[in-house]
Structure formats: C-alpha cells, structure tokens
Amino acid sequence: MFRTRPDARPATVEVLVEGTPVLVPEGASAAVAVLLAGLSAIREMPVTGSPRGPLCLMGVCFDCLAEIDGVPNRQACMVPVAPGMRIARQRGAREARP
C-alpha cells in the first residue's frame, strides 16, 4: 500500500517495538514503527480478545492504542517517533476515571 521511493533516503531514528530495535524514517508515526517491526496487532479488544492494530492511520479508529514510553492508551498513529522511544502492546482495558 505505502512504498518508499527508491531514490529517497530519509534520515532514520531507532525505536524499540516490544523490545526489538527498529529503524524508522524520521517524522513517521509510532504506528509506522509497529508495522515496520512486522506486527499486525498491537493490542487486543478487552471483551473479545480479538487482535487489533494500525488501521486508519489518521486518529479515527483507535485500533492502534499502545503503550508509548510507559504511557498507556496512546494513539500510535498520532505520535511521531523519537530516538529511543519504547512502544509496547496495550494490555487490558483502559482504566475508568471516577
């Protein structure tokens, strides 16, 4: 679906996706890092357990919720990568606030 132009040589940053180092083009989103890491799912639906991953890549569907740098419930498609960023699977349901 998305391809990098063969003549493009964007600068890259290294991030950790589930503990694995991944080189990602500078300016890309954390969701792109997840996809470049080869993962199709980054979380599971709390009720059904069905796998979910980056889908719309524009902040509408919330299927790319992930834990980023220790903060849960981040929309990975809306967070630009930064050197050393840690991206991990979203585990369990979001906590409700009183």
Domain boundaries, the chain: 25-89
> What pTM does this model have?
0.84
Q: Is the pLDDT of residue 46 over 90?
A: no
Distance CA 34, CA 24 (A): 10
Burial class (CB in 10 A: 0-12, 13-18, 19+), 22: buried
Residues forming beta bridges with residue 80, ordered by sequence position: 29
Across the range 31-36, mean pLDDT stands at: 95
Percent of the chain with pLDDT over 70: 90
For the residues 4-30, what does the mean pLDDT come to?
A: 91
The pLDDT mean for the chain works out to: 89
Is 80 exceeded by the pLDDT of residue 63? yes
Assigned CATH for 25-89: 3.10.20.740
Average pLDDT, integer, range 44-67: 90
